């Protein structure tokens, strides 16, 4: 079956540091890949997506590139802010599935200090 | 901006009791989902619902669980006889019609505590 593996957290960084959160996946077919973010006390929000190999998703300074050869979708940001402190989830939706079930990674807690 | 809402935000119940978790999806969405997250674990898919019937469900979604869209706006998850291990955060999500970008919009969650 499908699965998503994220790097273990928590991750603690100083403001303006570079962020990488690793995500690898196992899937049949051609999945779409997502990063969701959960701020304290809130629901999951879509951060960015990529629907096919070599696509780069980007939003709010975050980027991730769909790498089929390494089955990865690592999240990066060049300079993090305190407001980026949240839980980040990598997820996939198997391409061609009509109903859109998402398979999530375990989540990575990011804390950014001033 | 339209959003998915869930009530209550926190539900405490005794083991063996029935609970109903409520969700109001975004109004023009046609696909509806429930997920749960046990504390410290990953978000897990429970069930998807389309055209007034279950389209897919996970192994977690056994006979103790049911879903309903009773009135065209609410989407509910019922647990008939709660167990301690049902304690989790439950998220509702909805998605626009097929063929559009397949983003799921999530509600803020209901924290269920079973004592």
- The DSSP bridge partners found for residue A36 are A46, A89
For A14, other C-beta atoms within 10 Å of its C-beta total 10
Higher local confidence (pLDDT), B48 or B1: B48
Question: Cα separations (Å) of B21 from A40, A110, A112, B9, B102?
Answer: 21, 29, 34, 9, 24
CA–CA gap between residue A65 and residue A34 (Å, rounded):
10
pLDDT score, position A98? 56
Mean pLDDT taken over chain A:
91
* Residue B2 φ/ψ, nearest 5 degrees: -65, 150
- pLDDT above 70 (res B21): yes
- pLDDT above 70 (res B17): yes
Give the model confidence (pLDDT) of A10-21 as tens digits: 999 999 999 999
Contact A42 B108 (CB under 8 A): yes
User: What integer is the mean pLDDT of A24-46?
Assistant: 89
User: What integer is the mean pLDDT of A39-58?
Assistant: 90
User: Residue B73: which pLDDT band, with cuts at 50, 70 and 90?
Assistant: confident
Contact B103 A93 (CB under 8 A): no
Contact A105 B44 (CB under 8 A): no
- Residues in A touching B105 (Cβ below 8 Å): 46
Q: Which is nearest to B21 in space by CA: B78, B94, B84, B88?
A: B78
pLDDT score, position B71? 86
Give the model confidence (pLDDT) of B23-38 as tens digits: 999 988 989 999 999 9
Instruction: Find the range with the poorest average confidence among A33-37, A59-63, B41-45, B96-100.
Output: B96-100
Contact A44 B106 (CB under 8 A): yes
Higher local confidence (pLDDT), A1 or B83: B83
Report chain B residues touching chain A, CB-CB < 8 A: 4, 6, 31, 33, 35, 41-45, 48, 50, 55-56, 91, 93, 95, 98, 101-109
Cβ–Cβ < 8 Å for B96, B28: yes
Residue from A43, A57, A90, A97 to probe the interface with B (highest B Cβ count within 10 Å): A43
- pLDDT above 80 (res A35): yes
Contact B31 A103 (CB under 8 A): no
Q: Percent of chain A scored above 70 by pLDDT?
A: 96
Name residue, tokens 């389209």: B55
User: Residue A95: which pLDDT band, with cuts at 50, 70 and 90?
Assistant: low
User: What integer is the mean pLDDT of A86-112?
Assistant: 86
Kindly state whether A31 is in contact with chain B, defined as any CB-CB distance less than 8 angstroms: no
Cα-atom radius of gyration of chain B, to the nearest Å? 13
Contact B45 A101 (CB under 8 A): yes
From the list B42, B93, B108, the residue facing A106 with the nearest CB is B42
């Amino acid at each position: 079956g499908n699965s998503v593996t994220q790097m273990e957290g928590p991750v603690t960084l100083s403001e303006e540091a570079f962020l990488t959160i690793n995500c690898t996946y196992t899937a049949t077919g051609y999945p779409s890949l997502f990063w969701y973010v959960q701020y304290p006390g809130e629901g999951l929000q879509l951060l960015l997506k990529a629907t096919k190999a070599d696509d780069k998703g980007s939003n709010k300074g975050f980027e991730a590139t769909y790498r089929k050869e390494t089955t990865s979708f690592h999240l990066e940001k060049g300079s993090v802010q305190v407001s980026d402190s949240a839980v980040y989830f990598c997820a996939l939706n198997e391409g061609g599935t009509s109903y859109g079930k998402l398979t999530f990674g375990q989540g990575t807690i990011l804390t950014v200090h001033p | 901006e339209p959003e998915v809402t869930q009530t209550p935000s926190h539900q405490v119940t005794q083991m063996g009791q029935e609970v109903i978790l409520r969700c109001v999806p975004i109004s023009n969405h046609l696909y509806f989902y429930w997920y749960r997250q046990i504390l410290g674990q990953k978000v897990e898919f429970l069930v998807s619902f389309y055209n007034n019937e279950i389209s897919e469900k996970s192994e977690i979604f056994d006979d103790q669980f049911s879903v309903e869209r009773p009135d065209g706006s609410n989407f509910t998850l019922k647990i008939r006889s709660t167990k301690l291990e049902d304690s989790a955060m439950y998220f509702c999500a909805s998605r626009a019609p097929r063929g559009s970008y397949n983003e799921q919009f999530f509600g803020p969650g209901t924290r269920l505590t079973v004592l």
